Amino acid sequence: MKFSAVKVLIGINVAVFMLQSLAGPATQEMFALYPLQRVEGGVYFHVWQLVTYAFLHGGVSHILFNMWGLWLFGSEIERYLGSQRLLMIYFASVITAAVSQLLVPFWFPIEPASTVGASGGVFGLLLAYAFMFPHRKLALVFLPIPISAWLFAALYAGLELFLGVTGTQAGVAHFAHLGGMIGSGLLLMFWGRRGME
């Protein structure tokens, strides 16, 4: 049976979500991404949170939406580039999303808060998908009109930037989403210069 990085990532996310539901706040306090600016209830930032936050989720709808995006974009990328490159894109995006979330409060007046979710990784996969399959049509549940992948990614990035700068839809890590796209884009540019060896 062929190894599928996407299926493994989904399986780990679901397993961690179930453990998170059983363990309660202790899991959040140890593995969510906490801000650099202040301490929340005696909980500190730790370096492992740059990755572990991406395996925690804030509810059923949160994990379902992220896993759907991971499967939708990740499966095609994995078939095209292979499991190793898929994982490299995903984790580069997760880490740059975390770094963005940690640094943005120094420049924008947003309230530092703990962050959870695989969204940064999924946004990185979205950018990679749009880069590799720019003219592939997407017909999504909330956007029933077919739209090119590159246009969808560009519009979504623009919306995230607008929502982040204006402080709209508080409680959503808009800059982390953009940070995930940055990580993916940097990695794709690096590979592009090396001829996708």
| Mean pLDDT over the full length of the chain | 89
Question: Is 80 exceeded by the pLDDT of residue 169?
Answer: no
pLDDT in tens, 35-48: 886 655 667 888 99
Q: How far is CA 183 from CA 93, 110, 152, in A?
A: 5, 22, 18
Estimate the share of the chain in helix, then strand, then coil, as percent rounded to the nearest 5.
65, 5, 25
Sorted by sequence, the CB contacts under 8 Å of residue 27 that are 6+ apart come out as: 19, 20, 56
Count of C-beta atoms within a 10 Å radius of residue 89: 28
Q: How far apart are CA 167 and CA 152, in angstroms?
A: 22
List all residues 6 or more positions away from 187 whose beta carbon is below 8 Å from its beta carbon: 88, 89, 92
Phi and psi at 120, nearest 5°, equal: -60, -45
- Which residue range is the domain that position 34 belongs to? 5-193
Contact indicator for 19, 27 with CB cutoff of 8 Å:
yes
Q: What is the pLDDT of residue 39?
A: 58
Task: Tell me the pLDDT tens digit for each residue of 110-133.
Answer: 676 789 999 999 999 999 999 999
Q: pLDDT tens, 90-101?
A: 999 999 999 999
Q: What is the CATH number of the domain that holds 161?
A: 1.20.1540.10
The total number of structural domains that make up the chain: 1
Radius of gyration of the chain (CA): 16
Query: pTM of this prediction?
Result: 0.91
Q: Provide long-range contacts, Cβ within 8 A and 24+ apart, for 21-27.
A: 27/56
Over range 65-71, report the average pLDDT: 96
| 24 Cβ neighbours under 8 A, 6+ residues apart | none
